Chains A and B, each alone.
Chain A
């Protein structure tokens, strides 16, 4: 692995308030290369916000500061909105949780994929259509011609998410940020979608930032896992070693899951050490 795609040092995201500011992300540093990195944490841990901060898609009220926030050598902090537009979708794309809300309901599936491609590549419609169909085939959609003409409400959730993946991969980005891409899907469909994503990422050497609350899924799917709690990174660990994680918070999260192979009468409830929050500012919302 040469230069990392994403290099972040001391990223902080703060929501200033009239009485008290809320620090959602508090000084995190990590790098992502051409690999699959999972970010896990409970709600309010700042994992989604971190993903959005890379694309500068955070709410206007958020104050982002960092010592360093680079994508492939480009300084994202000082990048203009114009520069960001050439990065978003083209070089970094994002897969969101629910395909129902992230596809345009009034546009045929195929046209949305063509649009995504032609925004970033100067080709004629015929060529774009050919590529869109090939892409639909690549995400294992059996009758790409038929699905191409359908509207989003006519396809199932698993199919919708595959269409999203096709749309996000067709501009051939270097990095994909997937924010809970399979949470809205059934277990049986979840594996299919993930294996398709995995196949396409491996083929092109695309980097992946996989945001999820599902520890087992992340351990299964990713190469490396970052565990976040209250806006800080608790542990950075290779996925295959997750089951022997050292940090008490990671352990607690693992122990709180009911397990099939290891039935227990009572599940462990994570206790939280205030020392994990060691920072100059008090934080409240994230702990609840």
Chain B
């Protein structure tokens, strides 16, 4: 498992700084972690801890980072090439903002196919719409004709249509209702099983991250302070104090009261 040749994504001392001189703010501070091929890895933390910034640096939306990002054993250039996006795709947090309001679903899905030079457009669009659980008739709809859950399915379909190896998920369900969240989480699980995808998921919801991911990095102030397996989170076996507080707060006050007596001898 620790064999470095198996690492699909790896960062070495990744740092991101916004601003210059006196007002410089180091948001991500020398973060090193790795994701094995086929793994689902989660990053959790409070807002402002740098988890989304890591994702932006990984996907190439922010090219001004220090340190190295390796994909499949090779360091990727700061300005990504097209071949990188062929393998790595991203699903954004807010499906209301990430779809073009004046493009029908068909156009949304056609664009990545054209960019990456795929053939058989109609067949691929039908297939991917089936895969995300939307009917083929949905291709003629505009985003405003879709519900939040349906929009997020379109966003996932757009990422999947070019058959990537890796999906980067930035809080994919935080803008959705719990019932719709369950649908999307089930879909993500099913797709990963069927297509042997690698996931990197960023979220602040502990229950969601343990549902999808096997291994989780706890972030605080721009650093990954601790890595835990999903089982360790369920059993609340955290080492660092901050992680314990975070776990206790996430589980709820009633539960945390009993936990704080057991685990947190304050």
Candidates B47, B181, B253; contact of A220 at CB < 8 Å: B253
Tell whether, in the assembled complex, residue B233 and residue A256 are in contact, meaning their CB atoms are under 8 Å apart. no
Contact between A186 and B46 (Cβ–Cβ < 8 Å)?
yes
A213 touches B207 (CB 8 A): no
List the B side residues contacting A258 at CB < 8 Å. Answer: 182, 185, 207-208, 210-211
Chain B interface size, under 10 / 10 to 19 / 20 to 34 / 35 or more: 20 to 34
* A253→B189 contact, CB < 8 A: no
Q: Is the CB of A191 within 8 A of B249?
A: yes
Min Cβ gap B226→A in Å is 15
Does B250 interact with chain A (Cβ within 8 Å)? Answer: yes
Query: Which parts of A165-213 form the interface with B (CB within 8 Å)?
Result: 186-191, 194-195, 213
Complex CA–CA separation, A195 to B148 (angstroms): 32
Bound Cα distance from A253 to B177, whole angstroms: 10
For the complex, is B246 an interface residue (Cβ under 8 Å from A)?
yes
When chains A and B are docked, how far (Å) is the Cα of A259 from the Cα of B206? Answer: 9
Cβ contact within 8 Å between A259 and B207: yes
CA distance A188 to B45 in the complex (A): 10
Q: Using Cβ atoms and an 8 Å threshold, which residues of chain A touch B47?
A: 157, 186
**Known: A188-B245, A252-B179, A269-B179. Contact between A216 and B185, CB under 8 A?**
no
Q: Given the interface contacts A213-B178, A256-B181, A258-B208, does A265 sit within 8 Å of B46 by beta carbon?
A: no
- Chain A residues near B210 (CB-CB < 8 A): 258, 260, 263
User: Given A260-B233, A261-B234, do A266 and B189 touch, yes or no (CB 8 Å)?
Assistant: yes
Per-residue CB proximity of A69-96 to B under 8 Å, as 1/0? Answer: 0000000000000000000000000000
Q: Which one of A194, A213, A267 lies within 8 Å of B186 (CB-CB)? A: A267
Residues in B whose Cβ lies below 8 Å from that of A259: 207
Cβ of B66 under 8 Å from chain A? no
* Smallest Cβ-Cβ distance to B146: which chain A residue: A288
- Whether a CB of chain A sits under 8 angstroms from the CB of B251 is yes
Q: Are A43 and B246 interface neighbours, CB within 8 A? A: no
Q: How far is the CA of A13 from the CA of B246 in the complex (A)?
A: 41
A243 CB, nearest partner CB in chain B, Å: 11
- Using known A-B contacts A186-B204, A213-B177, A220-B252, determine if residue A267 contacts B185 with beta carbons closer than 8 Å: yes
Q: Is A268 an interface residue (CB 8 A)?
A: yes
Most buried by B among A187, A256, A264: A187
Give residues 141-183 of B contacting A (CB, 8 Å). 147-148, 177-183
- Which A226-263 residues have C-beta < 8 A from chain B? 252-253, 256-261, 263
Within the complex, what minimum Cβ distance (angstroms) separates A46 from chain B?
Answer: 14
Is A282's beta carbon under 8 Å from chain B? no
For the complex, give the distance between the alpha carbons of A195 and B183 in Å.
32
| A187-B204 in contact (CB<8A) | yes
Q: How far is the CB of B212 from chain A (nearest CB, A)?
A: 8
Judge whether B254 is part of the interface by a CB distance below 8 angstroms. Answer: yes
**Bound CA–CA A157/B230 (angstroms):** 29
Task: Return the chain B residue nearest A188 by Cβ.
Answer: B249
Spell out B's residues near A (CB within 8 Å): 46-47, 147-148, 177-183, 185-186, 189, 204, 206-208, 210-211, 230, 233-234, 245-246, 249-254, 256
Given contact pairs A188-B249, A252-B179, enumerate 6 new A-B contacts (beta carbons under 8 Å). Answer: A187-B249, A187-B250, A188-B245, A221-B253, A258-B210, A260-B251
Return 8 A-B CB contacts under 8 Å, by A number.
A42-B178, A187-B249, A220-B254, A256-B182, A258-B182, A267-B182, A267-B185, A269-B179
The 7 A-B pairs of least Cβ separation, nearest first, read: A258-B211, A256-B182, A267-B182, A186-B46, A288-B147, A42-B177, A258-B207
